[in-house]
Amino acid sequence: MQVTLLTSAVYGVLGARLLQVQGLEGAAIRTTAVNNRIRTIVLSARRGTIQDRFGNPLAATVDFETIGFDVRSFLPPRGTKSEVAAIENQQTTAESRVCRLLDISSTELLSQISAAQAKYDAQRLSPATPRRFWFPLATGVSVERAAEIMHGPHYGFSELQSTVRRYACGISAAQVVGFLGPSGRGAAGLERSCQNWLQATPGSAQIQVDEHNTEIPGTLANEVPARPGEDVETTLDPAAQQIATQAGMQIMQKFHPHGVAIVIVEPATGKIRAMVSLPAYDANPLKSNPTKRAPIHLQSLMDRCVGEVYEPGSTMKAFTLSYALDRGYITPDSTFYCAGELKVDGRYIHCAKGEVHHIVNAAKILRVSCNLGAAQVGMRMGGRALSRGFTDFDLFSPPQVHLPDVLAGAWTYDKYALPYSDAKTARSAFGQSVTTTPLALTMGYAAIANHGALMKPMLLKKLTDEDGRVLRQWQPEVIRHPVHAAVADEVLKMLEGVVTGGTGTCAAIPGYLVAGKTGTASLYRPGAYTGSFIGIAPASNPKMVILVAVRDPDHSHYYGAEVAAPYFKEIAQRLLALWRVPQDDPDNSQYIAAQASQRAQEGLPPLKQPDAAVVAMNN
């Protein structure tokens, strides 16, 4: 009887417990069981590309594979004699195939496997640390080659999928395009300034897994789609970038300057076709390890086209004269006297090389680059008017371009100086004691080439999504007209004279009219200068404005006519041919005149006309 009662009591307790589990707590237990099987996975998305003017990628995220092996697969096999033989046969077949497809020797492979086994065994000494069993063998393997390896016998070997950011431009547009930091966010250039557009948004989803942590088919739920980054198309011309980079590298090798900045702009639209800053860097991953890149030196990070200000020297004279002519301070016939030196506020200013130019007008001031003539024009205007003129050309504003760390030039940085004194005004009129950026100066000359219309610098063309839909588009935009069209056209003609028979004769190009200006500015260090040349071609229908600025070249060569003008010519000549720009001087009249003028300046006898024509045709 007692046994029956005890048995009944036990069954009663079990029944009550079963009722509690299945009835009252059943739903909660089932939910807990399901939740223990649920895993949240991240759905990755690709970062947007940075593209050139043709839609080709300058920066893009690409897939690569790492082939590795599970070291446990290559430990001495266990089992029967036939089982061991079968495993060893699989190992040998897979090893031979992997060696062939990865182009490595069997000795190298076995050496890596042995080293991995030694590390795996050594991990027993620290049992608290999870033992590592997968070891990489080759990184940077193409997706196609990895698929080929995995498609055949690959006992013990497996792949790990990864992505890497690659830069098709290399060093030619390094500072403009930029690179990613360790976190995957943009750290420089467009990668940084366009981060919010380029950055992808990962998605998520939930799956259920079995006791072996393997996904149970058909259990995908609560999916939040990933959103790829948007593509940014720029105005950059990859050929122009490459041509300018090659010229800049020649300058670096020949004159060993502190740095070189080259800007190429389309004057009618303000589109930036190239910006080169040297020294530069290559942000591409190392071939030996796609997860790393070569160190980037601090000096290479600077974008000298927008992130460095400089005293432009005589290239500023075109703005001084343009504004003076436009506002009626002078006329084209107004004359000034150059005695080689001029005392202003107790200090002397001089013309370059001790030259004396005697009577000069606006055209001659530009042609022979007369400092004293420009200084007298500036003092006639007064410092406030001259500063306003430079401001109207946007020389003191940070260029409105989609790049980080853009600097602005200034009328003066010396808070103790009298900002509009005659001495300050005189120096500013020929480009000393004022600063600007290479891009701002180029845009100012583009305004002269564009009949007085100052365009907003344009680096971005459009923003598109993964399906190619245009989300945003940029159009050429006029900022203002700092001078009237007639004045701009007149000054452009004067700048032709600089190349025909002035300081810029070495920039003349057969078949084309070129307008331009040399510039040489002393830095605040003995013997240090910035030499530059800015040119417009063809002068009768401008398609390009090109600035070449060379900061602190060898002390024996620093004039803009030496270190910059010949490289302007090289760049322009190649681009005129590449862009198929029609000739506007088929008789080579400017080129022949420039050759004659250059020989006269060097004290050489003049060439006979037929010989000059032959020289023109052969250059």
**Res 499: pLDDT:** 98
Show the beta-strand stretches assigned E in 180-278. 203-208, 221-224, 231-234, 259-266, 271-278
Q: How many helices (H) and strands (E) does the chain have?
A: 21, 21
**Res 288: pLDDT:** 72
Asked if residue 614 has pLDDT above 50, the reply is: no
Asked if residue 3 has pLDDT above 80, the reply is: no
Asked if residue 414 has pLDDT above 60, the reply is: yes
Three-state DSSP string of 304-319:
CCCCCCECCHHHHHHH
pLDDT interval class at 161 (50, 70, 90): confident
Asked if residue 470 has pLDDT above 80, the reply is: yes
**Res 29: pLDDT:** 55
> What's the whole-number mean pLDDT along residues 145-171?
83
Instruction: Identify the CA nearest to 575 among candidates 512, 495, 619.
Output: 512
Domains of the chain: 64-167 (no CATH), 238-287+300-585 (3.40.710.10), 587-619 (no CATH)
Q: Which residue has the higher pLDDT, 502 or 117?
A: 502
**Res 581: pLDDT:** 97
Asked if residue 609 has pLDDT above 80, the reply is: no
**Res 261: pLDDT:** 97
Percent of the chain with pLDDT over 90: 59
**Res 14: pLDDT:** 59
d(CA 282, CA 140): 17
CA 538 to chain centre: 27
12-26, 222-236, 534-548: least confident range: 12-26
Helices (H), 339-382: 362-368, 371-381
pLDDT interval class at 34 (50, 70, 90): low
Both tokens of 587, joined, read: 């008789």
Q: Which residue has the higher pLDDT, 616 or 234?
A: 234
**Res 316: pLDDT:** 97
Mind listing the pLDDT tens digit for each residue in 125-134? 776 666 678 8
134-138, 172-176, 316-320: least confident range: 134-138
> What's the whole-number mean pLDDT along residues 50-73?
88
Asked if residue 290 has pLDDT above 70, the reply is: yes
d(CA 229, CA 601): 58
Give pTM, 2 decimals. 0.83
CA atoms within a 13 Å half-sphere pointing along the CA-CB vector of 446: 32
Mind listing the pLDDT tens digit for each residue in 337-364? 999 999 999 999 999 888 999 999 999 9
